Structure 1
Amino acid sequence: MSDLLTSDDTALIDLSIGLEDGAPSEPTPPKIDAFDHEAGAERLAKNLRQLGHDVEADDFPDGMGLAWEDLEVIPHAGTHLDAPWHYGPEVDGEPAKTIEEIPLEWCRGNAVVLDFREMVPGEEISASDLEAALADLNHELSPGEIVLIQTGADELWGTPEYLTQFPGMSAEGTKFLVEKGIKVIGTDAYGFDKPFAAMGERYVETGDESELWPAHFAGREVEYCQIEKMANLDALPRKTDIPVVAFPITIEDGSAGWVRPVAFVEEREMEGEA
């Protein structure tokens, strides 16, 4: 891992989706108000005048100050890591961790990509589905690995269909992975559970409360974090032993934090894929 971090022959693969103003794939899209350099000069000059200094925007070199953005955004927009606190106040009777309490050790390790792109949107990924996918890879999970669920939904980013066209994890599947020692599970879909519409329809049909966010609520029994809205899993040259780092931003008492997962692979592997 250390060699991959520093080698000039390492390819870095971005596995994230960023924050976008008004994105149609977000039910609560970010609002981004951008200020260019001229507007920045006006605002900086105003700040200095409020401090008692006689400064105008034209006094800045070329009349330009600093560009920046004002954001109105929830921590569950874009690629983010959900903390156990998101699922409930306790995990197996113990206080649930908020995002700033997540051990950094959980957020780096070798990733395993399990491919469920052939599943029907709205279906649940069961423990037996996970076992079959692992058997296809001839891989046995080890504690500390990061499991990435590939649905192919990231190809729909930028469209409303992104919110509805993906399979989701089941409660039993989530528990199965965590009981194998997995602390971080990622997905390239909008959500970790099946889509909202599928959950609502099944609950109305059955009256069974277990249809509502079952994978999330499994986190009230077993401790884990999930990364939602990942991307580019198809760019990875293999499905196992992929070094990944995914450190979240800390937000005081936060239920989640934005994260930019990055995979490290040797350039020659990428060339072999080309």
Structure 2
Amino acid sequence: MFPDAVSHRMHDAITATDGTLIDLSIGLEDGVPSEPTPPRIDAFDHEAGAERLAATLREQGYDIEAEDFPDGKGLAWEELNVIPHAGTHLDAPSHYGLEVDGEPAKTIEEVPLEWCRGHAVVLDFRWKEAGSEISVAEIEAELADLNHELSPGEIVLIQTGADEYWGCPEYLTEFPGMSAEGTKFLVEQGVRVIGTDAYGFDKPFTAMAERYAETGDEAELWPAHLAGREVEYCQIEKMANLDALPRRTEIPLVAFPITIENGSAGWVRPVALFEDDSERRDT
């Protein structure tokens, strides 16, 4: 539950008709090189829509042709072949393992919506070297610079600057990742959702593989993700536009995922809400 003052500020931001909405998401794009498993999107225009709709109705016993639609045009639509981890998405605890601290891990439809809205704080790690890990000490230092103390239910957003590479292969490699210790530290403060503007929550695949090859240490493989087998949390991956936010703390945020039966993740469109356009800084 939020304190009354925080709840009122959240309500004011959501209901303000002259406020600002900042989209913090990346959408689904056909064949984009920033995804190792890119979506495939087949689009059907209005003429094709008329053909397909007419064929569907004929299968049901009705004598209808495409030209029977006004101007021979039906409805446009798309068919998608895509994993729920493409585009901006929320990983459920079940993505990390079958159990969290001995209890069954929640799938995406079981994630409480209360976790997915609240006030967020942005921690700026754009200065970190790509392939490195974000430590507890570095998180504490960023919070100290903001003079900010985390509260239960707060959402933490990790800014790496990687979204600048969206659409390029470098998006998959040019970012730091969270450490297992850093992840557990945030959850132990009552944080349930942690977001990042990078491709992944851990350091890049190549960095993990190189360190594992050097050391043979299994702890180098997806350590931040697998921390979710010990502490219960969700992560939002592939966010964007964190530099468009007018401030670093007390950011009203909603990030509700689509539900997928027994899903390990769900697409999400995080949106920050501000009462007054004047709050938004030039970027």
Aligned to 1:268: 278
Q: What is the one-letter code of the residue matched to 1:207?
A: G
Partner Cα separation in structure 2 for residue 81 and residue 222 of structure 1: 16
- Pick aligned residue for 2:93 from 76, 84, 87: 84
Partner Cα separation in structure 1 for residue 124 and residue 165 of structure 2: 17
Aligned to 1:63: 72
1:228 aligns with 2:248: no
Name the Cα RMSD after superposition. Answer: 0.7
Q: What is the one-letter code of the residue matched to 2:279?
A: E
Aligned to 1:252: 261
1:114 aligns with 2:123: yes
- Pick aligned residue for 2:219 from 210, 232, 235: 210
Q: Give aligned-pair identity as a percent.
A: 79
Partner Cα separation in structure 1 for residue 220 and residue 79 of structure 2: 38
1:49 aligns with 2:46: no
Deviation per residue, 1:204-252 (Å, 9 max, x gap) = 1011110000000000000000000000000000000000000000000
1:144 aligns with 2:153: yes
Structure 2 counterpart SS, 1:13: strand
Aligned to 1:186: 195
Partner Cα separation in structure 1 for residue 54 and residue 12 of structure 2: 47
1:31 aligns with 2:40: yes
Equivalent residue pairs, number: 273
Partner Cα separation in structure 1 for residue 35 and residue 82 of structure 2: 11
Q: Following superposition, which runs of at least 4 residues in structure 1 exceed 6 angstroms of deviation?
A: none
1:29 Cα offset (Å): 0.1
Q: What is the one-letter code of the residue matched to 2:149?
A: E
1:150 Cα offset (Å): 0.1
Partner Cα separation in structure 1 for residue 78 and residue 252 of structure 2: 33
Q: What is the one-letter code of the residue matched to 1:174?
A: T
Partner Cα separation in structure 2 for residue 250 and residue 231 of structure 1: 22
Aligned to 2:20: 11
Structure 1 counterpart SS, 2:157: strand
Aligned to 2:135: 126
1:5 Cα offset (Å): 1.3
Partner Cα separation in structure 2 for residue 53 and residue 209 of structure 1: 61
Q: What is the one-letter code of the residue matched to 1:220?
A: R
Q: What is the one-letter code of the residue matched to 1:97?
A: K
Partner Cα separation in structure 1 for residue 110 and residue 197 of structure 2: 24
Structure 1 counterpart SS, 2:20: strand
Calculate the TM-score normalised by the size of structure 1: 0.99
Q: What is the one-letter code of the residue matched to 2:131?
A: G
Calculate the TM-score normalised by the size of structure 2: 0.95
Partner Cα separation in structure 1 for residue 202 and residue 185 of structure 2: 15
Aligned to 2:5: none
1:38 Cα offset (Å): 0.4
